[in-house]
Chain A
Amino acid sequence: MKRSSHIALVLMGTSPLLLTACSRESADEGLYTSAQACIEQTNDSYSCNQAFEQAQREYAQAAPQYATREECVAAHGADQCQVVRQQQGSSIFMPMMAGYIMGRMLSGNRVSGLAGTPAFRDRAGGFQRPVAGANGVYRAGSLGRPAMAPVQMAANQKPTASRGGFGGQGSQRSSGG
């Protein structure tokens, strides 16, 4: 999607507005520490493997980079950091891919879209992920660092099977205000 998934106003207009993208598709996301763990939870080996490979491909772009091992360890923990030699001969430090997030767009039972994003350990042993694409809105190295956000979901869980079991009355009112 090239379009915001939702839009909202809190100050403008007559009342607070929250609009969610109009879509009959549903999305689920899961955090897995390996493709095997993903398959065990979802029974979807094709998606698990594809998403894992995509996450691996994105790793070099998406992983935070540090000038020193100390900085990397401070952000991700001692056993997470590896040295990467640059073409110019210098070295940088990057956390290893500690897991990946598989996002599936589901139209009914059919998978209509698939995404794999690498996840990294944070200092406290939780997981974090790059925000909005590889580098957030600010490009690394020029004017900022890649933005990372904590991953709230637990690793290797069964995905949500359905939504919407509550709140059916509320959805008949306009959320547009």
Chain B
Amino acid sequence: MRRLPLAERPNWRQRADECGFAFHTIGGEPYWDETHCYAFTLAQIEEDIEAPTEKLHDMALDLVDDVLRDESLLRQLDIPAAYWDWIAESWRRRDPHLYGRMDLAYAGRGPAKLLELNYDTPTSLFEAAFFQWQWLDDHMAAGTFPLATDQFNSIYESLVEAFGTIAKDLQRPLYFAAVRDSAEDQGTIDYLRDCAVQAGIECAAIAIEDIGVTDDGRYTDLDDRAIGTLCKLYPLEDLFREPFGQYLPSAGMQLLEPPWKAVLSNKGILPLLWQRHHGHPNLLEAHFDDGNGPLPPGWVRKPLHSREGANVRIHLPDGRSEEAAGPYAGPQIRQAFHPLPRFGDDNVVLGSWVVGDRACGIGLRADRSVITRDSARFIPHVILADDGGVFEA
């Protein structure tokens, strides 16, 4: 894993406009950053990232069954009791799932360490699947990289294939929904819908705020039609706690990601994985944490439902502390601190995508702070032979 400085494509903003990538700059700060990239060897990708991702994915899916059979675990994961049967039923039916992203700490050697699973509302999808691919293609066309340069990124093909596979199992009409005013979420949900259309699925879009409920507790679109399946980029645990959540178990609306993802989109999965696979090379020690005692050096405290690093507190081994502000409260876990690789001022986290049940690509995020937050920039990557001899920047 090497950092390679690189000239930006002179027309990359125009390229972004062409494909509707509206959030490449957020609040005046760059989010898409192609002033450099990271290069991996094929062995690093296949042995250190792809294979462990699939292994960790299998371990996580194996846990769903255990959790859904055990009320004390459901309580420990802070899943509201009103939804237990509905979630268990969705697992018994094996309601189809689409995707997830696991965040790994990996510095180019040694085992990648699982930091967390983003298995309900993973973002950075469009930039990983599409814009990163196009970036490499433009550079190959311009001669910056040899034509045979590769990238770990079959995310697009995997998404279209996965939609094609589950199409028959999705109730119609199918709606894609995200928060109306989030450019990033709208861009991501548009991309998912684009892939569904390419798989031949007829579908529509609705803002999550526009969903209605009938007198008899059915969810409806703006024409009062019942929604068959809602593919939502909106946290399950938020749906549970909002006023319309009470109708979920009886409304007959299918969800994508399905209700059983509530078990996996929960940081409580980290101590549970550690309990079952104590000492596994790709896991970090983790425990449930009541949040009362002091956090010892070398540990990280995370709320069960935090996203984008919010409310994560790190007590570094050298005694310094870092904490990210945020809205998340409630039960927490603590996880052994494991440093992210540092390149210059950047701490780099590796997001490894699973579509269907297959590891199919990565996206890197870089942040000046030790905690990777929503400010982290997206940095593209390539696969090159490890001697670096083919690279001419």
Q: What is the interface of chain A, defined by CB distance below 8 A to chain B?
A: 1-5, 7-15, 17, 19, 21-25, 131-133, 136-139, 142-144, 147, 176-177
What residues of A have a CB within 8 angstroms of the CB of B19 in the complex? 9, 12-13, 17
Number of A-B contacts (CB under 8 A): 114
What residues of A have a CB within 8 angstroms of the CB of B148 in the complex? 23, 25
A-B contact pairs, 7 of them (CB 8 A): A2-B152, A3-B136, A4-B154, A7-B133, A11-B197, A19-B137, A137-B357
CA distance A10 to B163 in the complex (A): 15
Chain A's closest residue to B187 (CB) is A12
Q: Closest CB of chain B to A93's CB: distance in Å?
A: 22
Q: Mark B149-168, 1 if CB is under 8 A from A, else 0.
A: 01111111110011011000
The answer to whether A17 and B18 touch (CB under 8 A), given A7-B129, A12-B191, A137-B165, is yes
CA distance A34 to B12 in the complex (A): 49
What residues of B have a CB within 8 angstroms of the CB of A131 in the complex? 161
What residues of B have a CB within 8 angstroms of the CB of A139 in the complex? 356-358
Chain A's closest residue to B354 (CB) is A137
What residues of A have a CB within 8 angstroms of the CB of B137 in the complex? 19, 21-22
What residues of A have a CB within 8 angstroms of the CB of B20 in the complex? 9, 12-14
A7, A10, A139, A176, most chain B CB atoms within 10 A: A7
Question: Are B158 and A137 in contact, with the CB atoms below 8 A?
Answer: yes
CA distance A19 to B140 in the complex (A): 13
CA distance A97 to B154 in the complex (A): 28
Chain A's closest residue to B19 (CB) is A13
Q: State which residues 176-225 of B face A: CB under 8 Å.
A: 187, 190-191, 193-194, 197-198
CA distance A15 to B134 in the complex (A): 16
Question: Are B357 and A9 in contact, with the CB atoms below 8 A?
Answer: no
Q: Closest CB of chain A to B82's CB: distance in Å?
A: 26
Q: Closest CB of chain A to B69's CB: distance in Å?
A: 18
Q: Closest CB of chain A to B38's CB: distance in Å?
A: 14
B interface residues, how many (CB within 8 angstroms): 50
The answer to whether A7 and B61 touch (CB under 8 A), given A2-B154, A17-B18, A17-B19, is no
Chain A's closest residue to B50 (CB) is A2
Chain B's closest residue to A176 (CB) is B18
What residues of B have a CB within 8 angstroms of the CB of A17 in the complex? 18-19
- Report the 6 A-B pairs with minimum CB-CB distance, sorted nearest first: A137-B356, A12-B20, A13-B20, A13-B19, A139-B357, A4-B157
B386 at the interface (CB under 8 A from A): no
Chain A's closest residue to B99 (CB) is A137
What residues of B have a CB within 8 angstroms of the CB of A2 in the complex? 42, 45-46, 150-154, 361, 383
Q: State which residues 78-127 of B face A: CB under 8 Å.
A: 94, 96-97
What residues of A have a CB within 8 angstroms of the CB of B157 in the complex? 4-5, 132
B130 at the interface (CB under 8 A from A): yes
CA distance A8 to B355 in the complex (A): 17
CA distance A4 to B45 in the complex (A): 15
Question: Are B133 and A4 in contact, with the CB atoms below 8 A?
Answer: yes
What residues of A have a CB within 8 angstroms of the CB of B151 in the complex? 2-3
B141 at the interface (CB under 8 A from A): yes
Return the contact of B165 from the options A12, A14, A22, A147 (Cβ within 8 A). A147
What residues of B have a CB within 8 angstroms of the CB of A138 in the complex? 162, 165, 356-357
Question: Are B357 and A4 in contact, with the CB atoms below 8 A?
Answer: no
Chain B's closest residue to A12 (CB) is B20
The answer to whether A137 and B94 touch (CB under 8 A), given A7-B129, A13-B18, A147-B165, is no
What residues of A have a CB within 8 angstroms of the CB of B356 in the complex? 136-139, 144
CA distance A12 to B136 in the complex (A): 20
Question: Are A136 and B191 in contact, with the CB atoms below 8 A?
Answer: no
CA distance A5 to B131 in the complex (A): 14
Question: Are B197 and A137 in contact, with the CB atoms below 8 A?
Answer: no
Q: Closest CB of chain A to B149's CB: distance in Å?
A: 9
CA distance A23 to B165 in the complex (A): 29
Q: Closest CB of chain B to A11's CB: distance in Å?
A: 5
Q: Closest CB of chain B to A177's CB: distance in Å?
A: 6
CA distance A9 to B107 in the complex (A): 33
What residues of B have a CB within 8 angstroms of the CB of A10 in the complex? 194, 197-198
B59 at the interface (CB under 8 A from A): no
B71 at the interface (CB under 8 A from A): no
What residues of A have a CB within 8 angstroms of the CB of B155 in the complex? 4
Q: Closest CB of chain A to B97's CB: distance in Å?
A: 7
B4 at the interface (CB under 8 A from A): no
Chain B's closest residue to A112 (CB) is B148
